[in-house]
């Protein structure tokens, strides 16, 4: 229905513009009406049906009367330099006849289209039928009442957070679920600042984090600290200046009971420590010492070790050159080298950890190149891992896996070149070396 109406409008517009462009605009002659010539003056006059309209006039459609009108052009309008977008262009009689035929054809198509428009009628339903239909559905007022009974009135996140803080004190049996909901909301910077302004750190986080014996609640509280301080400078400043939370986090990080708690602890410490100048170098060194010990723990999974490595990378880079002496005295570069060599076999199967480790070593190359470039065992480990992913790339048929394997192999190749210069060994030689080692 709508498409037909649009077609009608378009055809009417086409007809109007075709007529306007004609030199000798002719109004369709109705049967029984006189065919005379329109005499133009400087005033607007109605164009009678059937009148011949000469060229060079100013035309308009009077929207009040719905009639066509014309007059002589004003001197300004008749200038050859006129910038008007509508100008009369002389045409030959042959072209005029073609356009008149086109207009007539458009009229016929319009008439046919109008004949095919369906009637806008429908069968009337009986009163009993309407009652049957209404009984199948609830009314708007009934739906509103149902939502009100369920207490589903809309609330802002600030209102929800305030309610959760109140429920945490009044409903200790639901504390774990409340903390989970709270952690989700606190990723917003505004919500985190609201939580701080309502003393949520002092009332909820610190006392329950320190004294909490339930590991599951400790994990959520650590995630809450990470959510509050992540990319939130005001929150970081508050936690660093007004609380002793960083020392508690370092303690919990080292004394973690589960790997899930360690993962949450790394998230909270990383969020608070990254690009934080207020905590100072002493706290930074304490965290680095704990993280380096994690790299040596055989009980930890490779992914958590790599997560610790990435945090070490971020903390070293954010300190710029302030930790250079600490890096040298604690032989951090040697410890990182030992970490890679000890976990080489894990990197052969854990593609994600291998890719992240290669990226981290590439970034730290500026700090440790003088140590790593002199370590033949590290070079051997890097070549073995690189060759492993080159072989996987050649043997794999899945395009997505091939892309990922190629990316990892390329990262290790780039790292080898940065540390040891151009590779003196071909991929086939690397394959043989890798097979010999296996």
Domain around 10:
2-27+37-78+90-113
Q: Is residue 105 part of a domain?
A: yes
Cut 0.75: pTM above it = no
Q: Is residue 235 part of a domain?
A: no
Q: Which residues of 161-200 are buried (b: 16+ CB within 10 A; e: fewer)?
A: beebbebbeeeeeebeebbebbbebbbbeebbbbbbebeb
pLDDT at 348: 94
Print pLDDT tens along the chain (438 aa).
544 455 445 554 554 444 444 444 444 444 444 457 888 888 889 888 888 888 878 888 887 787 888 888 876 555 544 444 444 444 555 666 777 777 888 888 888 777 766 655 555 667 777 778 778 888 777 777 777 766 666 678 998 999 999 999 888 888 999 999 999 999 999 999 999 999 999 999 999 988 878 899 999 999 999 999 998 999 999 999 999 899 999 999 888 889 999 999 999 999 999 888 888 889 999 999 999 999 998 888 999 999 999 999 999 988 888 889 999 999 999 999 999 999 999 999 999 999 999 999 999 999 999 999 999 999 999 999 999 999 999 888 888 888 989 999 999 999 999 998 865 544 555 444 444 544
pLDDT at 151: 66
- The domain total for the chain is 1
Residues in contact with 322: Cβ distance below 8 Å, sequence separation at least 6, in sequence order: 281
Q: Is residue 18 part of a domain?
A: yes
pLDDT at 121: 53
pLDDT at 141: 77
Of 229, 284, 286, 295, the C-alpha closest to 262 is 295
pLDDT at 134: 78
pLDDT at 371: 93
pLDDT at 272: 93
For residue 347, count CB atoms less than 10 angstroms from its CB and return exposed for 0-12, middle for 13-18, buried for 19 or more.
buried
Q: Is residue 71 part of a domain?
A: yes
Partners of residue 60 on adjacent β-strands = 69
pLDDT at 322: 87
Q: Is residue 104 part of a domain?
A: yes
Is residue 337 a contact partner of residue 375, using CB atoms and an 8 Å limit?
Answer: yes
Return phi, psi of residue 156, to 5°: -80, 165
| Alpha-carbon gap, residue 256 to 266, rounded angstroms | 11
Strand order in the sheet with 45-46: 45-46, 68-72, 57-61
Q: Is residue 48 part of a domain?
A: yes
Q: Is residue 248 part of a domain?
A: no
pLDDT at 431: 47
Q: Is residue 106 part of a domain?
A: yes
| Cα diameter, the chain | 113
């Amino acid at each position: 229905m709508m498409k037909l109406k649009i077609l009608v409008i378009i055809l009417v517009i086409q007809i109007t513009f075709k007529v306007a462009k004609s030199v000798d605009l002719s109004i369709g002659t109705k049967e029984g009406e006189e065919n005379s010539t329109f005499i133009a003056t400087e005033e607007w006059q109605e164009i009678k049906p059937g009148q011949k309209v000469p060229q060079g006039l100013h035309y308009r459609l009077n929207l009040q009367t719905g009639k066509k009108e014309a007059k002589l052009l004003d001197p300004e309008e008749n200038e050859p330099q006129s910038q008007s977008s509508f100008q009369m262009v002389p045409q030959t009689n042959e072209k005029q006849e073609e356009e008149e035929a086109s207009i007539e054809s458009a009229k016929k198509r319009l008439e046919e289209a109008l004949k095919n428009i369906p009637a806008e009628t429908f069968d009337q339903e009986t009163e009993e039928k309407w009652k049957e239909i209404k009984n199948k559905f609830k009314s708007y007022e009934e739906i509103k009442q149902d939502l009100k009974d369920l207490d589903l009135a809309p609330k802002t996140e600030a209102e929800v957070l305030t309610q959760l803080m109140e429920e945490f004190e009044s409903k200790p049996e639901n504390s774990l679920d409340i903390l989970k909901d709270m952690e989700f909301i606190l990723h917003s910077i505004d919500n985190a600042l609201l939580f701080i302004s309502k003393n949520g750190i002092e009332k909820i986080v610190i006392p329950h984090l320190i004294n909490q014996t339930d590991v599951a609640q400790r994990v959520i509280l650590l995630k809450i600290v990470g959510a509050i301080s992540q990319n939130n400078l005001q929150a970081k400043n508050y936690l660093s200046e007004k609380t002793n939370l960083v020392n508690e986090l370092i303690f919990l990080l080292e004394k973690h009971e589960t790997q899930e708690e360690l993962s949450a602890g790394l998230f909270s410490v990383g969020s608070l420590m990254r690009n934080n100048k207020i905590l100072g170098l002493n706290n930074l060194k304490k965290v680095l010492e704990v993280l380096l010990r994690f790299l040596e723990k055989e009980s930890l999974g490779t992914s958590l070790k790599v997560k610790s490595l990435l945090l070490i990378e971020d903390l070293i880079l954010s300190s710029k050159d302030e930790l250079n002496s600490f890096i040298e005295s604690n032989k951090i570069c040697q410890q990182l080298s030992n970490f890679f060599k000890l976990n080489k076999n894990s990197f052969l199967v854990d593609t994600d950890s291998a890719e992240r480790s290669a990226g981290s070593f590439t970034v730290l190359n500026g700090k440790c190149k003088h140590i790593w470039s002199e370590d033949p065992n590290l070079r051997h480990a890097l070549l073995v891992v690189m060759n492993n992913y080159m072989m996987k790339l050649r043997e794999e048929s899945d395009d997505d896996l091939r892309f990922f394997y190629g990316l990892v192999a390329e990262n290790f190749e780039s790292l080898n070149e940065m540390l040891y210069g151009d590779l003196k060994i071909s991929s086939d030689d690397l394959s043989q070396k890798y097979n010999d080692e296996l």
